[in-house]
Every structure is written in structure tokens, then in C-alpha cells.
């Protein structure tokens, strides 16, 4: 990909379980953002974590960032069927002029 | 919240013709807009970054003459796919960075292009 990889590519879990997705990137960043995309639709912004932050929470979402390893993780707790979607990490370069997406994780939550 | 509108949402065109996709920031001014292409079950690939009043910066491998980008105002950027071919069929998404918002970026709903 242009900037990074995500794993797993696909994840299938039972409702109520936690889902963890990982993102690795290549260059120095200003911040990293996570997005959700339902099939064939636009993107919904979930959370932004700055390069000087290590962890951030928003509702059932928990994001971590390790700039030394150039990696981030997104944890969705107590998953719901409605969480079924593709999740992408996106990195913003230090100049702020490039905004690249990772390869994405397709999450399926089984009711 | 801020809204980015793309038009059309769906378009079918004949091979060899050109098609224009508009990206508008409805309630804010966008100094920078980004255009992405997404093939089915793949990630979004940044095609170009456009700054109002200046030429777009294209990513490596994206043909400037094939994908014409115009960002003539602070609320409108257009992507024109020229001489479209079936392999150009894809989902095109724009995003806009609001003036003074730092790194807050808003996405449009995307435009499906099918070239037949």
C-alpha cells in the first residue's frame, strides 16, 4: 500500500467479543486516524491519535500508538453486529500534505 | 458537522468519453482536497492532492492527463476522468481539509464510476 499494512485482512467474531486490528506504517507521522467504511459507502471518522499520544479512548474504542514501532492498534470492545464493516487506519505526514490509508481490515460480527 | 458532498453518486459512461465528478465542501472552506480511488475489497489509494488555486500534486503512477483535477474555489474540486476505459471503473472518494482545522479531514460519500 502507499503507506501501511493492516492485519488481519479479515476478522470474524461473535457478538460481544472484542475485536483487535493492527496497523503498521512506513514514515514519520503527525497523527494517525481510524475510519470505518460500510460496503460501498463513504468513510466515517472514528478516532484520531497524535504522534505524541500513546493511547486514546472513545466509547467502546481504544486506540494505541507506538511510534517507535510505527504501529497502531484499534480495539473494539463488546462488539455488535452493527460494527460489521471495513476499518482503515490513515496516517497524516508531518507536512500534513499527504493522507494515506492502510490496507484495511474487514470485520464481521456474527449475531 | 462539516459536510462534503460528491456528485454524482453513480455514473455510467461509454468507453472513450469523459466524466466529471464534483466534490463540494458545503459549510466550510477547504484549502486542500484529496482524491482517492478504491477498487472492490481494496483500500483507498491516494490519487492526488489539490490545493485551491494551484496545480494538483499527483501520486506516482497516476496519469495527470488522464485524471484532471481542478480546485478553482475554496469549496469545489473536480476530478475529470478523460477518455474513460473499463479499467477506470472504480469508487472515487474525495476528502477536504477545513481551513484552520489542523488535520481534521472530512470525506464525501464517494462516486461509483462504471465504464461500459
Neighboring chain A residues of B109 at a CB cutoff of 8 Å: 41-42
Please report the DSSP string for A79-111 in residue order. --GGG-EEEEEEEEETTS--EEE---EEEEEE-
Closest CA to A17 of A84, A63, A73: A84
pLDDT band at B61 (very low <50, low <70, confident <90, very high): very high
**What are the φ and ψ backbone dihedral angles of B55, each rounded to 5 degrees?**
-70, 150
* Pairwise CB contact (< 8 Å): B107 & A102: no
Report the SS3 class of residue B56.
coil
Looking at residue B2, its pLDDT comes to 62
Shortest Cα–Cα distance, A35 to chain B (Å): 10
* Pairwise CB contact (< 8 Å): B46 & A101: yes
Shortest Cα–Cα distance, B17 to chain A (Å): 24
Q: What is the pLDDT along chain A (111 residues), one digit of tens a residue?
A: 566 788 899 999 999 999 999 999 988 888 899 999 988 788 888 999 999 999 999 999 999 999 999 999 999 999 999 999 999 999 887 776 677 888 899 999 999
How many CB atoms are closer than 10 A to CB A52?
Answer: 9
- DSSP state, A22? E
| Inter-residue contact A76 to A18 (CB < 8 Å) | yes
Looking at residue A96, its pLDDT comes to 65
Neighboring chain A residues of B59 at a CB cutoff of 8 Å: 2
Shortest Cα–Cα distance, A18 to chain B (Å): 23
- Give the C-alpha separation, B23 to A111, whole Å: 37
Q: What is the pLDDT of residues B31-58, one digit of tens each?
A: 889 999 998 888 889 999 988 888 899 9
Amino acid at each position: 500500500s502507499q503507506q501501511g499494512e493492516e492485519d488481519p485482512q479479515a476478522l470474524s467474531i461473535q457478538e460481544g467479543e472484542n475485536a483487535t486490528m493492527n496497523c503498521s506504517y512506513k514514515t514519520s507521522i503527525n497523527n494517525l486516524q481510524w475510519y470505518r467504511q460500510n460496503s460501498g459507502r463513504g468513510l466515517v471518522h472514528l478516532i484520531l491519535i497524535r504522534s505524541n499520544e500513546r493511547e486514546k479512548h472513545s466509547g467502546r474504542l481504544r486506540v494505541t500508538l507506538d511510534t517507535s514501532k510505527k504501529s497502531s492498534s484499534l480495539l473494539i470492545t463488546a462488539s455488535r453486529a452493527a460494527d460489521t464493516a471495513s476499518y482503515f487506519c490513515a496516517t497524516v505526514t508531518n507536512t500534513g500534505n499527504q493522507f494515506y490509508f492502510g490496507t484495511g481490515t474487514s470485520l464481521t460480527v456474527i449475531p | 458537522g462539516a459536510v462534503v458532498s460528491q456528485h454524482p453518486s453513480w455514473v455510467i459512461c461509454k468507453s472513450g468519453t469523459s466524466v466529471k465528478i464534483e466534490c463540494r465542501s458545503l459549510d466550510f472552506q477547504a484549502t486542500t482536497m484529496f482524491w482517492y480511488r478504491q477498487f472492490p475489497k481494496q483500500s483507498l489509494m491516494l490519487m492526488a492532492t489539490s490545493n485551491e488555486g494551484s496545480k494538483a500534486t499527483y501520486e506516482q503512477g497516476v496519469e495527470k492527463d488522464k485524471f484532471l483535477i481542478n480546485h478553482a474555489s475554496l469549496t469545489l474540486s473536480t476530478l475529470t476522468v478523460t477518455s474513460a476505459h473499463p479499467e477506470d471503473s472504480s469508487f472515487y472518494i474525495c476528502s477536504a481539509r477545513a481551513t484552520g482545522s489542523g488535520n481534521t479531514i472530512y470525506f464525501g460519500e464517494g462516486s461509483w464510476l462504471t465504464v461500459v
